[in-house]
Homo-oligomer: A and B are copies of this chain.
Amino acid sequence: VTGTMTINEIGSFFIGGRVANLNGLPPKEARLTTGSPAIKLDLSGDFDVGQMYVQYVKVVSPRARYPLLMWHGGGSTGATWETKPDGKPGFQMFFLAEGHDVYISDAVERGRASWARFPEIYTADPIFRSKREAYELFRLGPDASYNTDPALRTTYEGLQFPVEAFDTFTKESVPRWNSNDADTQKAYDALVQKIGPCVIMVHSQGGLFGFTAALHAPDKVKAVIALEPAVPRIDAGEPGLAALEAVPHLVLWGDHLVGPFWEPFTKNVCDYGQILRNAGATFTEIELPKENIHGNSHMIMMDKNSDQVASLIQKWMIANHLMK
């Protein structure tokens, strides 16, 4: 936040996880760092797996009723909510200034949460996102618009993503696995139990965990706010569905949602919302272009108009009695 603000506490903690024991790996002689004595490393032993990192900033006299938990998307860390790639304040800053206590996590396997040896503990290989994939999948431009040379890249007309900062943005990208969802959900569920009544904001893959967290703890999760989210697969018989009546859901969509990835992705959310509405829940989808807000990428919270989108969310929170 630029501009003086009074805070009550800054802190962090780790939550969730279990211990994995590895046996029978051969010891290895190595120097841990240049010039340090060589030591015999025992590759076997006890290792932590499945834990998550959470950092919080608490304001003095919060105006929000509940803490706001921000859950990043796949291939990201909590940095996704902080200062934007162009150096401007992001969603963390915006919602702190609006009087929310903000909890930002690094999910299992990402960032400060750490990751575990594969294939011995994690069963899959890590997936690294290339700069081309980030550029085109996140809809800065159409297929084949990325080029190693920034001068030769093309963008969608009216794009809101600060494309001049794209090569800074991709430094935030971290590897991911598609084998750890159960551990990740468990850690997020533990976080909700620890914090108590809260509002969850998710981006992209984070939706999988945020929507499920609401199903698992409809007494604790007071709302789910989702930016272009993935959704869990459920049907009308899903346990916990009826209790979602008291948990309003908001979904926001950016621009240019076409092609073989985004069309089924948005369809899944549409189906999910219908199941929730049939069960009596409030599930609101807002397509920003239909509100005359054009050019948003998949990274809505980093786009140049992020304050405008955050204001729209804040208004929805006021309307849904989430502010004091």
Q: Could you list which residues of chain A lie within 8 angstroms of chain B, going by C-beta atoms?
A: 1-14, 17, 19, 21, 30-37, 39, 41-48, 51, 53, 55, 57, 60, 74-75, 77-79, 82-83, 87, 89, 92-93, 96, 106, 111-112, 114-117, 126-128, 130-133, 137, 148, 167-168, 170-176, 178, 181, 205, 208, 230-233, 260-261, 264-265, 268
A288 CB to closest chain B CB, in angstroms? 21
Given the contacts A13-B83, A112-B78, A130-B45, A233 and B265 also touching, CB distance less than 8 Å: no
Identify which of A10, A19, A78 gathers the most chain B CB atoms within 10 Å of its CB.
Answer: A10
A2's nearest neighbour on chain B, judged by CB, is B9
Docked Cα-Cα span, A21 to B47, in Å, equals: 33
Interface pairs (13), CB distance under 8 Å: A12-B82, A17-B171, A30-B178, A33-B178, A36-B265, A37-B264, A42-B130, A45-B131, A46-B130, A46-B132, A47-B128, A111-B114, A114-B174
A312 CB to closest chain B CB, in angstroms? 23
B contact residues around A46 at 8 Å (CB): 130-132, 148
Pick the contact of A260: B37, B51, B96, B230 (CB < 8 A).
Answer: B37
B contact residues around A57 at 8 Å (CB): 10
Identify which of A74, A87, A126, A133 gathers the most chain B CB atoms within 10 Å of its CB.
Answer: A133
Pick the contact of A79: B10, B12, B32, B92 (CB < 8 A).
Answer: B12
B contact residues around A82 at 8 Å (CB): 10-12, 55
Docked Cα-Cα span, A30 to B70, in Å, equals: 26
B contact residues around A264 at 8 Å (CB): 37
Can you add 19 more A-B contacts, CB < 8 Å, to A43-B130, A45-B131, A114-B175?
Answer: A2-B9, A5-B7, A12-B79, A17-B171, A19-B148, A32-B205, A34-B181, A34-B233, A35-B208, A37-B260, A37-B261, A42-B130, A43-B128, A45-B133, A46-B130, A78-B112, A111-B112, A115-B174, A115-B175
Pick the contact of A4: B6, B32, B48, B232 (CB < 8 A).
Answer: B6
Docked Cα-Cα span, A95 to B142, in Å, equals: 48
Pick the contact of A178: B34, B60, B87, B178 (CB < 8 A).
Answer: B34
Pick the contact of A9: B1, B116, B172 (CB < 8 A).
Answer: B1
Docked Cα-Cα span, A264 to B38, in Å, equals: 11
B contact residues around A116 at 8 Å (CB): 128
Given the contacts A82-B12, A171-B48, A33 and B74 also touching, CB distance less than 8 Å: yes
CB <8 Å contact, B265 and A173? no
Closest 4 CB pairs of A and B: A45-B130, A14-B171, A51-B171, A46-B131
